[in-house]
Copies of this chain bind each other. A is one copy, B any other.
Amino acid sequence: MQKYTTLILVGLIVVLAAALTGVLIFLKNQPTQERAFQPLVEIQPMEPDSEKWGVNFPNQYTTFLKTKTNNIDTTYAGASQFSWLERDPRQVLLFAGYPFSKDYNDDRGHVNALEDVRATKRLNLNLDDPKRTPGTCYSCKSSNNPALWNELGMEDYDKMSFVELGEKIDQSIGCANCHEAGTMRLIVTNPALEEALTAQGKDWETFTRQEMRTVVCANCHVEYYFAGEGKYLTFPWANGTDVYSIIEFYENIGFKDWDYPEAGTPMLKAQHPEFEFFTADSTHFNAGVSCSDCHMPYVRDGAAKFSSHDVHSPLLNPELACGQCHTDTEYVVRRVFVIQEQVATTKIATEDAILDAINALQVAAADPNADSALLDQARTWHRKAQYLWDFVSAENSTGFHNPEYALKILADSTNYARQAQMLAAQSIDDTSLLATGTFDQGSIP
C-alpha cells in the first residue's frame, strides 16, 4: 500500500513539474508588449511628464535621464554640441544665405532637445519678428506634442508661432513621444509620420514590435519640410523614401528652402534622414536589426532586463551595443572607423566640387549676357548635388548606417557638382570658371 502511495506521489510531482515548466516556457515566450505588469501609478493618455512614467519604469527612466549628460564625442561626430562650422569651415560657404551658416552644432541627447532648440541662433536670428519662426519647429522637441496634436490638430499646431506655442511646452522629448500610456506599446505619435505611411499604403498598427523599434524613431529622425503658408509638417515620401525619390518629389512641387546668394540656385536643406538612410537596403536593416537594437541595447539591472533609454552612439558602448550580435567588438569598432574614414574623406572631396560649382555659378549669374537656359541647368545640378551631399552629411552616422549608399550618393553628388560648374562656364562661354580646388579657408567671414 505504501508502495502505491509513493508511486502516486512521485507521479504527481512529475506531472506538476512538467506543468510548471510548460507554464514558465509559455510565459517566457510571450511577446514583451503583452506581458502583464502592475503599474504603481496610473499614467494618463499622452502624459507629457516623463517623470510620472518613471515611477512605473525606473530603469528606463533613469537611463533616459542620462541623455542629459551623455555629451561625449566619437571620432567623427558625437553629442558635445561642437560646431560643424568650425570643424568643417566649408559648410559655412555651403549654407551661405541660410541660418545653418551661422549656427550649426551637433545635437545633444534627448533630454536637452527643448533647451537646445530654444537656444539655437538659427531661430533667434528671427528675433526681429519672433512670429516668423513657426511653431512647427517644436514638432520633434517635446513630449507635450502628442497631447497638443490631439487637442489642436496638427494643422492648427503648425500655424502657431514658435513663441505662442512655446507657452504650452515645458517638456523635452520623452516617454509620450514613442509609447502609449497603459499598454506601453510603441506607437506613431507624429501625425506627419502617420500621414506619410498612410500615403504609402502602410498601416503602422500592423507592424511587428521589432519593426516599430525602428519606426518610432521616424517620429523625428527623418527628412521633412514645412508645406505652404501654414508650415504644415510634411515628409517628402510620396515617391519613395530613397534620396533620389525625395529629390524628385521636391522637383515636382518646386520646393526650396532658400536661394543661394549670388548663384540664384533654389536650395534644399536636408534634415536628419536617419530613417530613410538606414532603411534604404542597408545591411543591418535588411538583416532585421532595428535602431533600438544598437542605440538602446538590452541591459540588466539585477534580474530585470530592459532596453537602455540612454540613446547615444554605439561606439561609446560597443560591447553592449554591437555585442548583442557580434562576438568580436574590437573588430567591429575598427570596421566602423574604416568606413567612416572613407565616407568622411569622400565627403570633403564632394564639398570641394560643390564649392567650385558655386564659385562658377556666382560669376555666371552676375553676367547679364549669360545663357539663362544653361544657367538654370547649372542651378538644377547644383541643387541636386548639394542635397545629395547634405543627405549624407546631415545624417548622423558619417555613412555607417548604410556605407555603400553613402558612397554612391557622394559619387553622384560630385559628378553633379562638376556638371553644374561646367554648365555655368558654358552659360557665359568662359573657361576661367573651370578652376578647381577654389575653396579658400581664409575667405570665410
> Which positions in A face B, CB cutoff 8 Å?
281, 283, 286-287, 328, 331, 334-335, 338-339, 342-343, 345-346, 349-350, 353, 403-405, 407-408, 410-412, 414-415, 418-419, 421-423, 425-426, 429-432, 434, 436
Contact = CB atoms under 8 A, between A and B. Distances in A.
B404 A339 contact: yes
A432 B411 CA distance: 24
B434 A426 contact: yes
Contacts of A421: 422
Given A339-B404, A403-B403, A349 B412 contact: yes
6 contacts: A339-B404, A342-B404, A342-B405, A345-B408, A346-B408, A349-B415
A277 to B, nearest CB: 14
A408 B286 contact: no
Nearest to A410: B411
A87 B353 CA distance: 32
Given A407-B408, A436-B419, A283 B345 contact: no
A162 B236 CA distance: 62
Contact of A431 (B283, B418, B429): B429
Given A422-B418, A423-B434, A431-B425, A411 B335 contact: no
A413 to B, nearest CB: 9
Number of copies: 2
A346 B434 CA distance: 24
Nearest to A283: B335
B430 A338 contact: no
Contact of A411 (B283, B286, B411): B411
Contact of A404 (B407, B429, B434): B407
A283 B414 CA distance: 26
B334 A415 contact: no
A281 B338 contact: yes
Contacts of A405: 342
A429 B421 CA distance: 15
A392 B338 CA distance: 19
Contacts of A342: 404-405, 408
B353 A415 contact: yes
Given A335-B283, A434-B423, A434-B425, A407 B411 contact: yes
A418 B353 CA distance: 10
B414 A436 contact: no
A414 B339 CA distance: 20
A149 to B, nearest CB: 37
A436 B418 CA distance: 10
Nearest to A381: B436
Contacts of A338: 281, 286, 404
Contacts of A429: 431
Given A345-B408, A411-B411, A418-B415, A286 B335 contact: yes
A422 B436 contact: yes
Contacts of A432: 426
A152 to B, nearest CB: 43
Given A286-B334, A422-B431, A423-B434, 16 more contacts: A286-B331, A286-B335, A342-B404, A342-B405, A345-B408, A346-B408, A346-B411, A349-B415, A353-B415, A411-B414, A418-B422, A425-B434, A426-B431, A429-B431, A431-B431, A434-B434
A281 B281 CA distance: 22
Contact of A418 (B331, B343, B418): B418
A411 B343 CA distance: 11
Contacts of A350: 411
A423 B328 CA distance: 48
Contacts of A414: 411, 414-415, 418
A283 B283 CA distance: 13
A410 B412 CA distance: 10
Contact of A349 (B287, B331, B411): B411
Nearest to A414: B415
A408 B281 CA distance: 19
Contacts of A411: 346, 349-350, 407, 410-411, 414
Nearest to A431: B426
A356 to B, nearest CB: 9
